[in-house]
């Protein structure tokens, strides 16, 4: 026998490796098995008894193989099911933190209508092999500003409306009544961007090439989208708006926005780093904003879901039900989805457009399956928390995922480095556990988020 340990004792021999996690709750502490992301919440005064409760630990340990398999599938077994489709390199705005180089946004190329239709046909053929079970692959027209290629985009949506779930991520300045009517009547998801509830702040980061803010145009579009369910607003957290996040959620809730994202600025390009807010400050105000969404929900019965946080909560309570793929390692870039540039060049994620060494191939010249396996894509899909200090020792490594590879590479010099934020993710996970301890987590999630899921392990049932 190679190892004499019978695994009876927690944290020694082959016993269950459990890390206690201070979640900042008055009564509870979390115990996490980091590799499988299996966890339990324990009353603080019961921690020692729990760790030496052989029956409980043995039941916990028995589930490890199932959860290992689930985590393995989620991390390494998924096939692409979505594409971020950039139909143009150009943008009518010059936002301070954009990840697409300014020269591209100013003078870059558009994809012609014929090419766009051809691209969708190729994508349809590829996804038929990777997306099964009656699901539809997703195509999100993304930026630069996709509405600058509106005729081609709308022609593509018309022709392939039965083949894909379509979405458009836009700066909202070019959405006239006709465009809104077309998109809403075709059930296209619409994401728009707004960084503050007041123009003085919003206009500091999102502006035209001549420096004029676009707040008024975005608000006008929000008025027209009121009542449309498949619509969301992204606010990018920077030093300009970080102390106003609670005002933003108040404002968006007042406008009856169903879903928003409060995303820390991705620091892939230097311009974004100049407006980056401090990690701890971002965490503090982000959590205050989450508290505010909960108050609003309690007061009005109407939720404003903060999708990027909801995804963290789901990553804890039902990992495979995640909808976004930044907070899992490897992240979804290049394995669950990829990005397509207007000339057909393929990148693991839109964050890499503008970084030629991450081009994996070209949609019109190469097989998609080959591009997914290309060395350029592998650099991203093979980046995993186990290889990154200090993430490899972090108890919450599979609730955070150590994003973002583009930031790590460009800002910190290597795929084996962390990205721009750590405490922001730490605090989100601790807050999520506090909500779970208080039985409030569903208040922060989409309605019916658990449709199609089943409970695999309920500690209360032991
Ligand atoms: S972590 Fe970065 S590269 Fe990965 S999916 Fe998110 S934005 Fe893209
Ligand atoms: S970035 Fe920070 S919170 Fe995330 S896995 Fe690494 S050490 Fe943990």
Digit-coded pLDDT (tens) for 368-378? 999 999 999 99
Please state, in angstroms and rounded to a whole number, the distance separating the CA atoms of residues 348 and 50: 44
Query: What is the rounded average pLDDT of the residues 214-232?
Result: 95
Residues with CB under 6 A from ligand 1: 266, 325-326, 331-333, 349, 351, 403-406
In this prediction, residue 462 carries a pLDDT of: 40
Across the chain, what does the average pLDDT equal? 93
Query: What is the rounded average pLDDT of the residues 72-86?
Result: 95
Q: Is 237 in the pocket of ligand 2 (CB under 6 A)?
A: no
The two three-digit tokens of residue 54, written as one number? 């052989």
Which of the listed residues 234, 266, 346 should we mutate to test ligand 1's pocket, taking the one with most ligand atoms within 8 A of CB?
266
Q: Helices 279-300 and 245-254: crossing angle, nearest 10°?
A: 30
28 Cα–ligand 1 center, Å: 32
Q: Would the pLDDT of 232 be above 90?
A: yes
332 Cα–ligand 2 center, Å: 17
Which of the listed residues 34, 383, 391, 404 should we mutate to test ligand 2's pocket, taking the one with most ligand atoms within 8 A of CB?
391
Q: Is the Cβ–Cβ distance between 339 and 358 less than 8 Å?
A: no
How remote is the C-alpha of 415 from its chain's centroid?
19
Angle at 92 between CA 88 and CA 97, to 5 degrees: 90
320 Cα–ligand 1 center, Å: 18
Query: What is the rounded average pLDDT of the residues 84-106?
Result: 88
Q: Is 400 in the pocket of ligand 2 (CB under 6 A)?
A: yes
In this prediction, residue 459 carries a pLDDT of: 64
Three-state DSSP state, 28: strand
pTM for the predicted model, two decimal places: 0.94
In this prediction, residue 461 carries a pLDDT of: 41
In this prediction, residue 96 carries a pLDDT of: 81
204 Cα–ligand 1 center, Å: 25
Q: How confident is the model at residue 164 (pLDDT cuts 50, 70, 90)?
A: very high
Query: What is the rounded average pLDDT of the residues 96-104?
Result: 83
β-partners of residue 93 are 208
The two three-digit tokens of residue 456, written as one number? 């695999």
Q: Is the Cβ–Cβ distance between 120 and 138 less than 8 Å?
A: no
Q: Which atom of ligand 1 is nearest to the CA of 401?
A: 1
Q: Would the pLDDT of 58 be above 90?
A: no
In this prediction, residue 323 carries a pLDDT of: 87
Q: Is 422 in the pocket of ligand 2 (CB under 6 A)?
A: yes
In this prediction, residue 214 carries a pLDDT of: 92
In this prediction, residue 8 carries a pLDDT of: 84
Q: Is 37 in the pocket of ligand 2 (CB under 6 A)?
A: no
Ligand nearest to the CA of 426: 2
Digit-coded pLDDT (tens) for 115-156? 999 999 999 999 999 999 889 999 999 978 999 999 999 999
In this prediction, residue 1 carries a pLDDT of: 57
Q: Which atom of ligand 2 is nearest to the CA of 403?
A: 1
Q: Helices 215-225 and 177-185: crossing angle, nearest 10°?
A: 40
Query: What is the rounded average pLDDT of the residues 383-411?
Result: 96
Percent of the chain with pLDDT over 90: 80
Q: How confident is the model at residue 2 (pLDDT cuts 50, 70, 90)?
A: low
Q: Which atom of ligand 1 is nearest to the CA of 337?
A: 5
Ligand nearest to the CA of 392: 2
Q: Is 394 in the pocket of ligand 2 (CB under 6 A)?
A: yes
Q: Would the pLDDT of 460 be above 80?
A: no
404 Cα–ligand 1 center, Å: 5
Q: How confident is the model at residue 441 (pLDDT cuts 50, 70, 90)?
A: very high
71 Cα–ligand 2 center, Å: 18
288 Cα–ligand 2 center, Å: 21
The two three-digit tokens of residue 127, written as one number? 């996804």
Angle at 164 between CA 162 and CA 166, to 5 degrees: 110
Please state, in angstroms and rounded to a whole number, the distance separating the CA atoms of residues 157 and 119: 12
Which of the listed residues 84, 264, 349 should we mutate to test ligand 1's pocket, taking the one with most ligand atoms within 8 A of CB?
349
Q: Is 221 in the pocket of ligand 2 (CB under 6 A)?
A: no
Query: What is the rounded average pLDDT of the residues 288-306?
Result: 97
Query: What is the rounded average pLDDT of the residues 282-300?
Result: 98
Query: What is the rounded average pLDDT of the residues 289-314?
Result: 97
Digit-coded pLDDT (tens) for 32-55? 999 999 999 999 999 999 999 988
Q: Would the pLDDT of 427 be above 90?
A: yes
Q: How confident is the model at residue 449 (pLDDT cuts 50, 70, 90)?
A: confident
Q: Is the Cβ–Cβ distance between 84 and 338 less than 8 Å?
A: yes
In this prediction, residue 397 carries a pLDDT of: 97
């Amino acid at each position: 026998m190679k190892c004499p340990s019978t695994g009876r004792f927690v944290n020694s021999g082959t016993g269950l490796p459990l890390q206690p996690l201070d979640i900042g709750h008055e009564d509870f502490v979390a115990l996490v098995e980091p590799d499988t992301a299996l966890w339990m919440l324990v009353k603080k005064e019961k921690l020692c008894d729990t760790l030496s409760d052989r029956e409980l630990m043995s039941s916990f340990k028995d589930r490890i193989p199932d959860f290992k398999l689930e985590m393995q599938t989620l991390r390494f077994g998924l096939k692409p099911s979505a594409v971020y489709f950039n139909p143009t390199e150009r943008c009518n705005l010059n936002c301070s933190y954009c990840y697409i180089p300014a020269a591209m946004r100013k003078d870059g190329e558009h994809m012609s209508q014929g090419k766009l239709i051809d691209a969708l046909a190729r994508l349809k053929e590829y996804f038929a092999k990777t997306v099964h079970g009656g699901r539809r692959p997703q195509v999100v027209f993304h930026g630069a500003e996709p509405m600058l290629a509106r005729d081609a985009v709308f022609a593509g949506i018309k022709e392939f409306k039965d083949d894909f779930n379509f979405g458009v991520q836009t700066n909202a300045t070019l959405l006239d009544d006709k465009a809104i009517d077309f998109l809403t009547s075709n059930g296209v998801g619409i994401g728009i961007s707004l960084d503050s509830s007041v123009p003085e702040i919003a206009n500091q980061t999102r502006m035209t090439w001549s420096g004029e803010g676009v707040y008024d145009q975005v608000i006008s579009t929000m008025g027209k989208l009121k009542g449309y369910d498949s619509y969301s607003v992204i606010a990018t957290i920077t030093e300009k708006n970080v102390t106003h996040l609670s005002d933003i959620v108040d404002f968006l809730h007042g406008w009856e926005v169903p879903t928003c994202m409060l995303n820390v600025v991705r620091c892939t390009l230097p311009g974004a780093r100049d407006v980056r807010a401090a990690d701890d400050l971002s965490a503090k105000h982000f959590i205050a904003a989450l508290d505010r969404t909960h108050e609003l929900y309690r007061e009005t019965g109407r939720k404003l879901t903060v999708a990027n946080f909801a995804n963290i909560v789901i990553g804890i309570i039902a990992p495979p039900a995640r909808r976004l793929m930044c907070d899992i390692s490897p992240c979804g870039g290049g394995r669950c989805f990829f990005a397509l540039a207007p000339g057909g060049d393929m990148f693991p994620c839109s964050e890499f457009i503008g970084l030629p060494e991450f081009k994996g191939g070209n949609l019109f010249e190469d097989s998609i399956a080959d591009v997914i396996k290309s060395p350029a894509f592998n650099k991203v899909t093979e980046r995993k928390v186990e290889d990154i200090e200090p993430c490899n020792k972090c108890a919450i490594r599979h609730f955070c995922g150590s994003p973002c590879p583009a930031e790590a590479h460009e800002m910190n010099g290597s795929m084996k480095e962390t990205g721009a934020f750590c405490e922001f993710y730490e605090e989100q996970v601790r807050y999520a556990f506090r909500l779970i301890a208080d039985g409030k987590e569903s208040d922060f999630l989409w309605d019916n988020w658990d449709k199609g899921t089943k409970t695999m392990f309920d500690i209360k049932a032991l």
